[in-house]
Copies of this chain bind each other. A is one copy, B any other.
Amino acid sequence: MLEDLYGDAEISAHLTPEAEVAAMVQVEIALARVEARLGVIPSEAAEVIAEALAAVRIAPKDMVGPTAAAGVAVPGLVAMLREAAGAHGGYVHWGATSQDIVDTGWVLRLCEVLAILAGRLDAVIASLADQAEAHAGTVMAGRTRSQIATPVTLGLRIAGWLAPLVRCRDRLAELKPRLLVVQFGGASGNLSALQGRGVEVMAGLADELALGCPEKPWHTERDGLVELANWLAMVTSLLGRMGGDLIILGRSEIAEVRAGRGGGSSTMPQKSNPVGAEALVVLARQVSGLAATLHQVLLSQEERDGTTWPLEWLTLPGMLEGTGAALRHAEVLAGSLNPAPEAMARTMALGGGAIHAEALAFELAQHMPLPEAQALIKQAVAQGGDLVAGVRRLCAERALDTGDLDLSAQTATDAALIARIVATARSVPD
């Protein structure tokens, strides 16, 4: 029932047992083709295998038993594929090991899923860049440590959501060549059964599948996947940060920005719950937790580690789908940001406009040392009432001519800062 909130149909289509089997079969077909091309197995075997395997239909439920028996799906799968390939079945999976098929099958599906995620990330980036510009002049209270601080613009707040996502776009470009590489190592990772032809086959398989080719098989080197997990957790957390800000801005007492469609209550007709923003925070925590669990696969031991490897199968789907859902919610929220300038003005007027205390101090500092100016402002704050009026009064008492106390400069730099990050956001990455 939670699938529209925390799941993602487009991404989960690549994570079903059916998709998993299909990817593994694709690897076995490619392997046979490459080995035939290199003369490692007979050409006619590869042709038969390719045709038979492309036609085979495997019900995931038939693989539950064999998978439980072996702890991995491949032995059962290979038995079925060999049977399908008939007399040439012996050339199916030639020189490979279970891990080669499982891992390369995952990499193939990661290519698809990362393309979806990258597209959505680009859309969120584009939307936030537009919004940052659009609201570059919308002044609101900046809040530090939950207290009203000095004025900022909504555009700059949005730019702050945008900036780390732009960096995550770069990070994705950097990690992909390390991650999207073929896995082909044979039983213990040294291509033992290929009698000296292993590197050729590995490179050929990479070509055939349009994947990168690593220096060596990476059986227990799981850093590429952990780097991906860190990226997923980072992206989702950064979206969760936007969600958290939107929850605060949408609180009943604040109501400065609305975004998305509010959720109803079973008993309170006035409620408009921030369902999408909450989902972003929930997904941030879920994906981060899964990433922390996955992190343990870095300690995989020896040539294959059955105590760590399956953690990938148990955590990656949730991370990929969760990140996809978060990007989907974020796109909706980013596209529907709806500020309420009067509410922003009301907040800024709280406490007699004490939000201008810093600016007033720097104005006065043209006439006295800053610490003295700050002390004077502090005195005015303590007296309560309108701060500008209070400051004028105190200055008058001291016979200080302070001019017109210009407060407009406080957000004078926002537009420039926004423009800098928006330009980077819109530049085409290499």
Contacts and interface: CB of A to CB of B under 8 A. Distances in A.
Given A377-B269, A413-B199, A421 B215 contact: yes
B273 A71 contact: yes
Given A69-B263, A150-B187, A237-B299, A370 B91 contact: yes
What is the oligomeric copy number?
4
A134 interface: no
Contact of A279 (B71, B170, B267, B361): B71
Interface in A235-249: 237-238, 240-241, 243-245, 247-248
Nearest to A374: B269
Interface string A356-373: 011101100100011111
Contacts of A271: 144-145, 147, 149
Contacts of A284: 298-299
A126 interface: no
A266 B75 contact: yes
Given A223-B168, A347-B253, A370-B90, A314 B6 contact: yes
Contact of A299 (B143, B190, B281, B291): B281
Contacts of A196: 409, 412-413
Interface in A388-430: 409-414, 416-418, 420-421, 423-424
A309 to B, nearest CB: 8
Contacts of A308: 282, 285
Ranked nearest first, the 4 interchain pairs of A and B with the lowest CB-CB distance are A142-B188, A289-B293, A4-B68, A144-B304
